[in-house]
Amino acid sequence: MTSTLPADLVVIGWGKGGKTLAAKAAAAGRRVVMVERDEAMVGGACINVACIPTKALVHSAAERRPEDDPETYLAESLRRRDSLVEQLNAANRAMLEGNAHVTVVMGEAEFVGPRRVSVGAGGERLEIDAAAVVINTGSAPRPGGVPGADLPHVHDSISIQRIDHLPGRLVVVGAGAVGLEFAEMFAGFGSDVTLLSRGAALAGEDDDVRASVLSALADSGITVVDGVEVTEVTAATVETTGGSFEADTVLFAIGRVPAVPAGLEAAGVDVDERGFIVVDDSLRTSAENVWAVGDVNGGPQFTYISLDDYRIVGSQLLGDGGRSRTDRLAVPTTTFVTPPLSSVGLTERQARERGLNVRVAAKPVARLAMVPRPKTLGETRGIAKVVVDADTDQVLGFAHHGVDSQEVVNLVALAMRTGITASELRDGIWVHLSSTELLNELLAALA
């Protein structure tokens, strides 16, 4: 039996952009239907399996003392993580389920026509007719794709979070942000970690920044092997083009693939050669009144980008339609190794390759005499680097491997977006003690 439900807006997937849009549309009096296929993903990947739980574990691993029993400490850390996720999941559920303008439907969504979504199984189905549809179904870890990648001791970034023991020898395949963070995490918990990279790990960074991060990884006991490709996983080894590596646990962290809903052809929604939904700068798909937000549209895979996707679509559904992806300037990123690595804009290498006239300053954190905060925390590893246009005094890029870098980079990104000059940042009055003070000393050293 099939029943029909009319809606002003149906959102498929409970991720950051979609849930925020659903709540705002409901507050404006729209009839909203939220469709989510997985009870464990209510609230989206960020709060359940990605940003928040992983950063909680990275922090916990960094706090482990030598006298803490590794197995016991890991188990306690996982319990604390589970408690946090449970609280966040419940809060997100209440945000929409408690709203009179929102209908929550659990199940697999499938397009059966333009802006017509079917949910259910067997003889019981619900078809939702919507004036507007937002696809917010996210992405999934890319499978290992080699013989042995389906063995029980082989994991992706989600399944390894449910591990019930501490790996003795962990091999992480992939040196992107996810691979680096999990390598750091398990090294902190007490695993012997080897990180395998197809190319050079952190190849996108300038050599001095890359060297700083690699040195810190080595301090953590992580062995980084560049230029190898995995050919097979066995019960006890990872076989590569550069040799064999012993492992009782393997993590593939080699990127993500789109998790699109079924029936896109029936909806008139196009995908690209990678399978991501094609959108324009307003996040409109090829189908009328259908948008795609978050990872599934092939953009940068960050929660804060998904939130900005909400602003773009929300401006069309609830505002003046004036916002688009072209408004995104100087988007910062952070990889939560210890200490964290943050950056925004161009590297020195990129700026010089473009033929720009630049001034550059770089200093190891330990040599920043005017910045005592890292010393008070006992964490002076790292480097700070800035690239400035010599003709305009505008900041072109900034990298900071060090304490609080995830906070400092936000200020620099704001300066870049709003036209604040390097000289103004250099002469800024910043709280003492703070890592932001490094801008005074670093920018004074521009050459």
Catalytic positions, written as ranges: 432
Q: Under DSSP, is residue 265 helix (H, G, I), strand (E, B) or coil?
A: helix
Whether the CB-CB separation of 310 and 293 falls below 8 Å is answered with yes
SS (H, E, C) 200-238: CCCCCCCHHHHHHHHHHHHHCCCEEECCCCEEEECCCEE
Q: How far is 217 from 404, CA to CA, in rounded Å? A: 18
Q: Residue 28 gets which letter from DSSP?
A: T
202: left (phi over 0), alpha (psi -120 to 50) or beta: left
Q: How far is 329 from 319, CA to CA, in rounded Å? A: 21
Q: Which of 370, 447, 444, 368 is nearest to 402 (CA)?
A: 368
B/e letters for 98-109, b = 16+ CB within 10 Å, e = fewer, are ebebbbbbebeb
Give the helix, strand, coil percentages of the chain, each rounded to 5: 35, 25, 40
For residue 199, what are the CA distances in angstroms to 10, 43, 85, 174, 224?
Answer: 42, 35, 35, 9, 11
